[in-house]
Amino acid sequence: MSPTRRVEEIFQGLDLRSTGKWFLLSGLIGTVAGLGATVFLVSCQTVIHFSLYQVAGFVPGEASGEHPIFAQVPGPFSPWLVLAVITVGGLLSGVIVYSLAPEAEGHGTDAAIDAFHNRRGQIRARVPIVKTIASALTLGTGGSAGREGPIAQIGAGFGSYLATLLGLPPRDRRIMVAAGMGAGVGAIFRAPLAGALFAGEILYRDADLESDVLVPAAIAS
């Protein structure tokens, strides 16, 4: 078979309407999740500045390539105030989560995966907002956690909300949830390809890959 004929068969097999739809939807979720990641990162740094820096006088180390948005001018250091800041931050975060959105508790990734498999991709609209505030309080006051879990749930929540807003069917909503996870992780770590692969493989315990989400997640990331 000639290369020209092979290319023609590939294009004939493409569902151009579906392809165009996912380009638009993935671009939309990528934009929203990217903005959400920016708000999350700025929120974390704001809490760090006004709690650990100013109150406790503690300057936590920054990862290579990270640039704080506030000048690092800490107040007088006190180990007791560091403990107090961590305690208050954890308490505030817990109260916010359990009073407004209990499903936003924990790491975040597990809840997003549960929504993908067991809830037809449905995540309440308040979850990404609550998760952003609660996680910023936890991380910003010195809590032992990372950014990947919260931003995965935040991105998944935005994806679910957009799918519901646009009236998409459950299958498309699930893809939007996974694409939102990948877009959020890709944005927060500035690694779009890694975000797309994360969205495809994090959904299963075994060495399996959700192929339907790879292209939307790659575009969104």
CATH of residue 92's domain is 1.10.3080.10
Rounded Cα distance between 155 and 123, Å, is: 11
| 93 inside domain | yes
Nearest residue to 152 via CA among 178, 191, 175 = 178
Structural domain contains residue 214: yes
Vertex 124 angle, CA 123 and 125, to 5° = 115
Residue 210 DSSP SS3: coil
- List CB contacts of 151: < 8 A, sequence separation 6 or more: 36, 37, 40, 108, 184, 185, 187, 188
Domain around 150: 22-220
Judge contact between 93 and 134, C-beta under 8 A: yes
Q: Is residue 6 part of a domain?
A: no
Domain presence at residue 89: yes
In a domain, 15, yes or no: no
In a domain, 17, yes or no: no
Which string of DSSP letters, residue by residue, matches 40-77? HHHHHHHHHIIIIIIII-------TT---SS-------
Q: What is the pLDDT along the chain (221 residues), one digit of tens a residue?
A: 565 565 445 444 445 456 677 888 888 899 999 999 999 999 999 999 888 888 888 877 776 667 777 777 677 888 899 999 999 999 999 999 999 999 988 888 899 999 998 988 899 999 999 999 999 999 999 887 788 889 999 999 999 999 998 888 899 899 999 999 999 998 888 888 888 888 888 887 776 777 788 888 888 88
Asked whether residue 196 is domain-assigned, the answer is yes
Closest C-alpha among 170, 169, 182 to residue 213: 182
Distance of CA 153 to CAs 31, 53, 121, 122, 178, Å? Answer: 16, 28, 12, 12, 10
- Answer yes or no: is 14 within a domain: no
Number of domains in the chain: 1
